[in-house]
Amino acid sequence: MTTTLLFRFGALCGALYVVLAILANDVFADLGPDSTATKQEIGAWFRTNPATTRDWALAYVEVVALLAFVVFVAVLGWFLRRADGDRTWLPGAAVGAGLVSAAVKIGSGPAMFAALWRADDGLSDELAAVLVDMNGSAFVLTWALDAVSAPPEP
C-alpha cells in the first residue's frame, strides 16, 4: 500500500467513525432518559422500552465506528511521527490518548448492554441509573482524552 493510499485510508476511517457514530447515537437511536432524569424515570424507561433488533444492530454499528477510529488514530500517529521526524513526544501522546479514548468508549458499552439485557428481568431503578451514569461518565472522560489526541500545531 502506498503512503498516499494509506493516508487516504486513515482519513476515510476517521470520516467513517464520525458518520457511523452520529448515525448510531443521534439519527437512528431511540434516545433514552437524559442525564437529569431521576432513577425512577430511568428504571421506567428500561422497563417500557425493551431492546429491539434495531437497537442491537445500532450498538454493533457503534462498535464498528470505534474500530474505524482506532485505525484512524494509528494512521494519524504514523503521519504525525513522519511530519515530526521523531523530534518530540507529541505524536506518541496523540496516539496513546486516542487509543485510550477508544478503549474507554468501548469499555463503557457493557454497562448499557447489561441494562438493556436485564431490563425485563427485574432491573432495579437504582441499578439502571448507576449503569446509565457509568456510560455517561465514560463519555465525559473521553473529552479530555480526545483533546490530548488532537494533532499538535506545527
- Kindly state the cell numbers that stand for 134: 457509568
- Kindly state the cell numbers that stand for 40: 425512577
Full-model pTM: 0.82
- Check residue 34 and give its pLDDT: 79
Return the domain boundaries, the chain.
3-149
Q: What are residue 152's phi and psi, to 5 degrees?
A: -70, 155
- Check residue 69 and give its pLDDT: 94
For each of the chain's 154 residues, which pLDDT tens digit applies? Answer: 578 888 899 999 999 999 999 998 878 777 778 778 999 999 999 888 888 888 888 889 999 999 999 999 999 888 888 888 878 888 888 899 999 999 999 988 888 888 888 888 888 999 999 998 998 899 899 998 888 877 656 5
Distance CA 73, CA 42 (A): 35
CA atoms within 13 A on the CB side of 48: 8
- Check residue 151 and give its pLDDT: 60
- Check residue 153 and give its pLDDT: 60
Q: Could you report how far apart the first and last alpha carbons of the chain are, in Å? A: 26
